[in-house]
Amino acid sequence: MSGDEALSADAPEEMPGEERTDGGERPQTYTIRLELVDEPGQLLAALKPIADNGGNLLSIFHERGNKTPRGHIPVEVDLECPPDRFEIIVDALREEGVNVIQAGSERYGEELTVLLVGDIVDTDLSDTLRRIERCTDATLADLSLSAPEGREDISSARLRLATRAGKATTVVDLVREVATAKGLNVVEPLMEGSA
């Protein structure tokens, strides 16, 4: 038996569709909240240690219009990496001088999609998204905006939200509250047990 055959004989067999890391562990999803100075290049500098240490970016929520009490910009980064690399990534961020506000394995186990319909643009879509993310156990995974007649007519926004397992009903309730306050209609997903 050659050396290559011996190595492949000892390697664990992968199931189709199962992604594994070089250490054999499945990547996990993590959320890191950062506080950045409002200067050109700061976001890019904060993302570099993540990529350099094996993190795969899933989403970035950069709240440029919103400031922390210290006058900095809050940024939420969802990433995927092997469990053994997460602390290395957090340490690398801190070594680069990035203020890490929170880092943890806040795994999002469910996704749901809701549709907001109404005067989406004039009711400040950015504010709507901030309110939803600030008050729920969810993060925005994807957004599609449709305004076929421009700002003068009804528009719609499709929000795909990632949430922790068991929190979907709470998230939908909050989305409904935010939409009602802004005069928007919500097309809600069918939830388990709904008629």
- For residue range 15-24, list pLDDT tens digits in order: 444 444 455 5
What CATH topology corresponds to 23-104?
Alpha-Beta Plaits (3.30.70)
3-state secondary structure of 189: coil
pLDDT of residue 186: 93
C-alpha span between 195 and 102 (Å, rounded): 39
pLDDT of residue 11: 37
pLDDT of residue 178: 92
- In terms of Cβ atoms closer than 10 Å to its own Cβ (0-12, 13-18, 19+), residue 98 is buried
Output the pTM of the full model: 0.46
pLDDT of residue 179: 92
* Residue ranges, CATH 3.30.70.260, the chain: 23-104, 110-187
Hey, what are 173's tokens? Answer: 């309730």
Please say whether the beta carbons of 139 and 78 come within 8 A: yes
- For residue range 155-177, list pLDDT tens digits in order: 888 988 877 767 788 888 999 99
- Residues of the chain short of pLDDT 50, as ranges, are 1-21, 192-195
Choices 3.30.70.260, 3.50.50.60, 1.10.3300.10, 3.30.420.40: CATH for 110-187: 3.30.70.260
pLDDT of residue 50: 94
Question: What are the phi and psi torsion angles at 55 (to 5°)?
Answer: -85, 140
pLDDT of residue 71: 76
Please say whether the beta carbons of 142 and 160 come within 8 A: yes
pLDDT of residue 177: 93
